[in-house]
Amino acid sequence: MIPVQGLTGARVAVLGLGRSGLSAARALAAGGATPVCWDDNPEAQARAQAEGFTCLNLRKQGAFEDIARLIVSPGISHLYPTPNPVIAAAWEAGVPVDNDIGLFFQSFATSDWHRFDTAPRVIAVTGSNGKSTTCALIHHIMEVAHRPSQLAGNIGRGVLDIEPPLDGEVVVLELSSYQTELARSLTPDVAVFTNLSPDHLDRHAGMGGYFAAKRRLFAEGGPDRAVIGVDEDEGRFLAGQMSEGPTDDRVIRVSVAEKLTGPGWQVFSRKGFLSEYRKGRQVASVDLRGVAGLPGAHNHQNACAAYAAARAVGIAPKVIERAFHSFAGLPHRSQTIAEAGGVRYVNDSKATNVDSAAKALAAFDNIRWICGGLQKEGGVDALRVVADRVKKAYVIGREAAQFAMQLDVDAQVCGTMDAAVAAAMAEAEAGDVVLLAPAAASFDQYDSFERRGEDFVAQVTKRLRSN
């Protein structure tokens, strides 16, 4: 646990008692603060009270008297589409609003560090797609390099649940826009921006607000190194803002769309080869084509971002290359779950938006595509560029018929995962890929993308065993 510093003796309100909220309450108590907790869910209140925390209805008049700070869980909107009433009450009372990420950065460094030969480092990763794979890959690289490392944030443990860092340790954080938009303290040593595509637009009042939330990790954080994907205008804008000029190697530009040139520091992938250039000269190259855990251009982008972050903390190219080949990938992200009869079965349930699904489709040919779910804003137009890779779509979800009508491919309305897998497997031929890449959220039928992916795995496994 990371005990919270700077709030000893203070009463601190905690709104939302899920994983991050309870973790924040424990860390506040460990640092000498007095957490005052609230959640509208009585079961969540009971869990907090079972741990000895006081629950106080923060909606009541006068609840913020003597409160030093309000800590908010990431799922609670603080500005758009409308402010949560508790947050509005905190504003009215002049109480600062923060989250567990802000508490983490406020409390990470301690006086013990003066005994370390090498100060611990934080690598924080944000962006629309690829964050989890990039973080897991960076963490894996550190393990292969025999550098102590912990993985936290949206992946692994809560940020305040990790152990105090060791000498030379690297902490890798996956941070969503919900987390970066509110944290009062953001001070990573290396900040990574993977890419940007429309997502969570209602929460951020459009693309401008969504990008602004991501940008805070860089503009507010002032990292020593910034690894920035520049395949979208927003990435190019951000790289330009962070750089003092063409030779400023504090910014490492990353691309899978073009060869990057110039006197700065660049990492890019073309035709399956990753290249690192510095001062206009190539200094390293990695063949990604045989890396089983990183298939497709979208995973090559993840590889470039992870490579650049690892280089920023001094890991040698050959060590990174060795780590790539031993990386197994993450569940529900281009995860090959079986191969039988010449057919490959791939679980990419994490492809919850159109852009990530298009990247998953671009990684394979002869696809039997299982898609559908709770559709997000923006339609499915971005999928048309990869439609020629799809032999047939098998559509699930409560609105499967409506989703199928938008596709430019032969589509069968299946409704359920069971029916979709059965139909796809019955028609699959040697050389085909049965791919779950929903291009939609899971919440119409499942409580998470993980449960959806697990159902796909279970249905495939059941039928393979019965054959």
Q: Which residues define the annotated binding site for ATP? A: 127-133
CB 445 within 8 A of CB 398: yes
Give the neighbor-by-neighbor strand order of the sheet with 343-347. Answer: 335-340, 343-347, 433-436, 367-371, 390-396, 411-415
CA distance 281 to 262: 9
Helix (H) or strand (E) holding 55: strand 54-55
DSSP 208-248: HHHHHHHHHHHHTT--SEEEEE-SSHHHHHHHHHH-SSTT-
* Bridge partners, 34 (sequence order): 11
CB 369 within 8 A of CB 393: yes
User: How many other C-beta atoms can be found within 10 angstroms of the C-beta atom of residue 228?
Assistant: 28
Nearest to 223 by CA among 312, 335, 285: 312
CA distance 388 to 408: 9
Contact residues for 463 (Cβ-Cβ < 8 A; gap 6+): 421, 422, 425
User: How many other C-beta atoms can be found within 10 angstroms of the C-beta atom of residue 282?
Assistant: 10
Binding residues: 127-133
